[in-house]
Amino acid sequence: MRLTIAAFLLLLAASPLRAGNWPQWRGPHFNGSADETNLPAAWSTTEGVLWSADLEGPAASTPIVWEDRVFLSGTDVARDVLQAICFDRAGGRLLWKHDVAKGIRRDYRSTYAAPSPVTDGQRVIFFFSSGQLVCYDFSGERRWARNIQDDYGTFAFNWTFASSPTLYGGKLYLQVLQRDVPVAGRGFADRENESYLLAVDPASGRTLWRVTRQSAAVAESREAFSTPIPFEHEGRRELLLAGGDAITGHDPETGRELWRWDKMNPVKISHWRLVPSPVSGGGVVLLCAPKGSPIYAIKAGLAGLLGDGDLAWESGKVRELTSDVPTPAFYDGDFFVLSDLRKALARVAPATGEAKWITPTPGRAKYEASPLAADGKIYLVNFDGQVDVIDAASGEVRNSIRMDEPASGEVVRSSVVASDGQLFIRTTRRLYCIGAEATTGAVRGSRPGKG
């Protein structure tokens, strides 16, 4: 017994403390939740701010946090440049910033810095909607770079393509679910544009494999702005892909399709581009159909081409249970569904689809950023930069804090993230760290300061 305890203590001493990391867009569990306590519920742009840092332009990408580093994809509006940025987590000091490419947008709705970076603690990888995929080590040295459009063709999207990369099981995954024909001069004109799932070696940037992902959707309904989400159920590991009128599960080792459900658009509506990513929990996988349509819960662990009998439930009778843009969170045994179109947040039981409570969103502006769920709270942010703190148990609005006054044509779309008792909030021109000083071993003892 003494030997076993001694070995366990030795293992703990040798292991880095990483419980507070937020390594990718939907957090440590790929579902918008975090195992956090003592997160703040009240603050302002001056009170409760550990530090803040200036940003040179707006972007929808979410901050990524690993121990003493905060990573951010950004834009420099004045110079029309995309940027990879790293801040010191303890005080907000800029550690490094690199220009990645010239040109930050092609349409007025989005910039190319909408996808969020991802890290495994050794390297950080940035993807931009113009195709740039670039890897840095934590000191800011570039390790490799490539452009996905140069390798596999121009993205065939009506608007600006956006999908965040995913790191899982030692592989980097990126999905491109696009039109089969060119649109506005983008895409191949002499052959079909393939939708695909790409696996990349994160250490070298080398393609490990690329598999075609089939779709029977038409026109814009082939386009997806979602992100591949890892999923494990009863020992089976999968990657979930949503888009092209379907949701599919894939083998992470080979990309082989394991199952498919494609019944959400039987009449082939042509303008149903898909934005929300899949989310799993409680033995089901959620697919949020677009444009005010229902949410579908597919039973986990199945194989092959699935039918309506393989649904656990669908939300058609509850008009508030829909999401056109935000991805739901899974936390404390339930889903938290934010409806940008119906202006409501709902707590939903995974087994039945029953809404335990539905709360109107308190702000006037639209909510498109996906919710954060942690410490008994749900954190939302709207286009105006108003952050709302909702009680997860009751749905009561506990606080609303205005964090921005966006310039004309600019909006806040970046999700709030939590790490080691702190909140990180990206507005159009600032990054805020809210809360007390972090206690993670890598940053313990550092003094806060202004950025």
Q: Which residues contact 246 (CB under 8 A, 6 or more apart)?
A: 215, 216, 217, 260, 261, 262, 264
Q: Which residues contact 7 (CB under 8 A, 6 or more apart)?
A: none
| Residue pLDDT, tens place only, 268-287 | 999 999 999 999 999 999 99
Query: DSSP labels for 285-309?
Result: EEEE-STTPPEEEEETT--EE--GG
Distance in angstroms (rounded) separating the CA atoms of residues 92 and 89? 6
Q: Torsions phi, psi of 246, nearest 5?
A: -150, 160
For all residues of the chain together, what is the average pLDDT?
A: 93
Distance in angstroms (rounded) separating the CA atoms of residues 8 and 357? 43
First to last CA, the chain: 50
* Four-residue CA torsion sign, 368, 372, 378, 379: negative
Q: Please, which pLDDT band fits residue 363 given cuts at 50, 70 and 90?
A: very high
Q: Tokens for 202?
A: 């994160």
Residue 6's pLDDT is what?
A: 43
Q: Is it the case that residue 293 has pLDDT exceeding 90?
A: yes
Which position has the higher pLDDT, 440 or 226? 226
Tokens 């007025």 belong to 108
Q: What is the pTM of this model?
A: 0.93
Mean pLDDT across the stretch 222-227?
A: 98
Q: Tokens for 306?
A: 């699935």
Min mean pLDDT across 55-69, 86-100, 427-441 is at 427-441
Long-range contacts: 360-367, Cβ < 8 Å, 24+? Answer: 361/388, 362/386, 362/388, 362/397, 362/400, 363/388, 363/400, 365/411, 366/340, 366/411, 367/326, 367/338, 367/340, 367/343
| Residue pLDDT, tens place only, 188-197 | 999 999 999 9
Partners of residue 331 on adjacent β-strands: 334
Residue 106's pLDDT is what?
A: 84
* Four-residue CA torsion sign, 266, 272, 278, 281: negative
| Backbone dihedral region for residue 343 (phi beyond 0: left; psi -120 to 50: alpha; all else: beta) | left
Tokens 């950080």 belong to 124
Strand order in the sheet with 94-102: 64-66, 69-76, 81-88, 94-102
Sorted by where each starts, the structural domains of the chain and their CATH numbers stand as 19-435 (2.140.10.10)
Distance in angstroms (rounded) separating the CA atoms of residues 83 and 61? 12
Burial class (CB in 10 A: 0-12, 13-18, 19+), 182: middle
Q: Tokens for 441?
A: 């071993």
Q: Is it the case that residue 5 has pLDDT exceeding 50?
A: no
Mean pLDDT across the stretch 376-382?
A: 98
Query: DSSP labels for 267-284?
Result: T--TT--B-SPPEEETTE
Burial class (CB in 10 A: 0-12, 13-18, 19+), 208: middle
Q: Please, which pLDDT band fits residue 441 given cuts at 50, 70 and 90?
A: very low
Distance in angstroms (rounded) separating the CA atoms of residues 216 and 80? 38
* Contact indicator for 141, 129 with CB cutoff of 8 Å: no
Q: Is it the case that residue 111 has pLDDT exceeding 90?
A: yes
The single-letter DSSP state of residue 220 is G
